[in-house]
């Protein structure tokens, strides 16, 4: 008799360890009592620590928490979450919580099973962003086509009327709109995944001056003081100027929106700073807006995550992060609720 029992125990043990999802057993305090191999691989050996500390790097339980719900009513509960691996990589998971009962039917612990759906979500995000892009692109193409039609009209009627000035204006209209279409196509390629940066020598202080220049005009009407802290000998780096411009514009826009939406203060400050180091340059965009809680901070660079409601697309910080990575650099975010936010962009002087 003993042998078959041990055999079947061993089989269940194997099933638990090798199941292709993260499984943990938790007690009423959300403490992890046991975890399977996949869980330990991606989150470390965390037995004894609390679920939300391990998965979310936070100090309070999530609200709502599917495990607590299951302890409460004995039913299975599920939710979708973004958790952080021990390497700090965000992972999208579908979480299921199911009660484990003792012989008397009392709930002893809860099993939490999380399926990694990061790839599905990434694919979905790509499809969604293609949809958004197509809408924006088709609008500008309609305008550019109208411009091309205009050029064609002036050219053909100018030739008929032998009106040289009209022919010239028509031709330059055609050229202008063709150039704009070229720019549009470059932008699309730039958003597409496999676009190689167009490497040039970029002057860091000049770049930041250019970008802050775009915001100076609207500083007063938004009650924001734009402070430029530009080290004029911060020097040059190898980079894609167009991409780096978008990165900095995205970060500034982010701070700007946060400050404009913050009604706690009548006046805000946004500081844009650049400094040179031997091996890298460092851009810093800092605001004294409402700041972010831990969850917002951790999801900030995730595609389509936005805290701006209908006004945000969740594209800006995602693309900025991609751009920094393509330059061999990184973006660090420091923020606390009521204490503003600080983005620190490090870009190596030499391309990777």
Partner 1 sequence: MPSPNKKILIVDDDPDICEYLAAFLTDNGYEATTAKDGVEALEKVEAEKPDLVALDITMPEKSGVRFYRDMKEDPKRKAVPIIIVSGVSEDFEKFISTRRQVPPPEGYIHKPVDLDRLLALVKQHIG
> Given the rule CB under 8 A, which residues bind partner 1?
139-140, 142-143, 145-147, 149-151, 153-154, 157, 166, 169, 173, 176-177
Closer CB to partner 1, residue 157 or residue 232? 157
Question: Minimum CB separation from partner 1 for residue 154, in Å?
Answer: 6
Closer CB to partner 1, residue 125 or residue 177? 177
Closer CB to partner 1, residue 180 or residue 187? 180
Question: Minimum CB separation from partner 1 for residue 167, in Å?
Answer: 12
Helix (H) or strand (E) holding 45: none
Question: Minimum CB separation from partner 1 for residue 159, in Å?
Answer: 13
Closer CB to partner 1, residue 218 or residue 265? 218
- Is 19 within 8 Å of 41 (Cβ atoms)? no
Question: Minimum CB separation from partner 1 for residue 163, in Å?
Answer: 10
Question: Minimum CB separation from partner 1 for residue 170, in Å?
Answer: 9
Closer CB to partner 1, residue 98 or residue 219? 219
Distance spanning both ends of the chain, measured CA to CA: 64
Closer CB to partner 1, residue 17 or residue 260? 260
Question: Minimum CB separation from partner 1 for residue 143, in Å?
Answer: 6
Closer CB to partner 1, residue 94 or residue 167? 167
User: HSE of 251 in the Cβ direction (CA atoms, 13 Å)?
Assistant: 29
Question: Minimum CB separation from partner 1 for residue 144, in Å?
Answer: 9
- Is 285 within 8 Å of 272 (Cβ atoms)? yes
Question: Minimum CB separation from partner 1 for residue 209, in Å?
Answer: 24
Helix/strand/coil (H/E/C) assignment for every residue in the chain: CHHHHHHHHHHHHHHHHHCCCEEEEECCCCEEEEECHHHHHHHCCCCCCEHHHHHHCCCCCCCCCHHHHHHHHCCCEEEEEEEECCCCCEEEEEEEEEEEECCCCCEEEEEEEEEECHHHHHHHHHHHHHHHHHHHHHHHHHHHHHHHHHHHHHHHHHHHHCCHHHHHHHHHHHHHHHHHHHHHHHHHHHHCCCCCCCCEEEEHHHHHHHHHHHHHCCCCCCCEEEEEEECCCCCEEEECHHHHHHHHHHHHHHHHHHHHHCCCCCCEEEEEEEEECCCEEEEEEEECCCCCCHHHHHHCCCCCCCCCHHHCCCCHHHHHHHHHHHCCCEEEEEECCCCCEEEEEEEECCCC
Closer CB to partner 1, residue 144 or residue 324? 144
């Amino acid at each position: 008799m003993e042998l078959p029992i041990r055999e079947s125990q061993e089989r269940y043990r194997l099933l638990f360890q090798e199941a292709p999802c993260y499984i943990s057993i938790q007690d009423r305090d959300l403490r992890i009592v046991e975890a399977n191999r996949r869980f330990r691989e991606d989150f470390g050996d965390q037995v004894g620590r609390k679920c939300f500390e391990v998965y979310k790097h936070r100090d309070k339980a999530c609200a709502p928490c599917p495990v607590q719900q299951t302890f409460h009513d004995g039913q299975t509960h599920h939710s979708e979450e973004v958790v952080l691996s021990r390497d700090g990589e965000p992972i999208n998971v579908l979480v299921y919580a199911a009660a484990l009962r003792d012989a008397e039917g009392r709930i002893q612990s809860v099993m939490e099973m999380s399926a990694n759906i990061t790839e599905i979500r990434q694919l979905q995000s790509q499809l969604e962003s293609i949809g958004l892009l197509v809408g924006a692109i088709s609008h500008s193409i309609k305008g550019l086509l109208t411009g091309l039609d205009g050029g064609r009209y002036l050219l053909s009627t100018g030739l008929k009327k032998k009106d040289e000035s009209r022919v010239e204006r028509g031709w330059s209209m055609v050229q202008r709109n063709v150039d704009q279409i070229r720019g549009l196509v470059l932008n699309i390629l730039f958003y597409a995944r496999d676009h190689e940066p167009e490497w040039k020598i970029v002057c860091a202080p000049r770049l930041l001056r250019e970008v802050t220049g775009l915001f100076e005009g609207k500083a007063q009407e938004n009650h924001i003081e734009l402070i430029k802290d530009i080290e004029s000998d911060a020097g040059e780096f190898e980079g894609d100027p167009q991409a780096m411009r978008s990165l900095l514009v995205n970060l500034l826009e982010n701070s700007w929106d946060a400050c404009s939406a913050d009604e706690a203060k009548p006046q805000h400050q946004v500081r844009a700073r650049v400094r040179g180091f031997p091996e890298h340059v460092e851009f810093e965009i800092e605001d004294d807006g409402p700041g972010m809680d831990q969850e917002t901070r951790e999801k900030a660079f995730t595609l389509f995550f936005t805290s701006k409601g209908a006004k945000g697309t969740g594209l800006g910080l995602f693309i900025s992060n991609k751009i920094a990575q393509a330059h061999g650099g990184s973006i660090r975010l420091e923020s606390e609720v009521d204490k503003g936010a600080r983005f620190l962009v490090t870009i190596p002087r030499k391309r990777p």
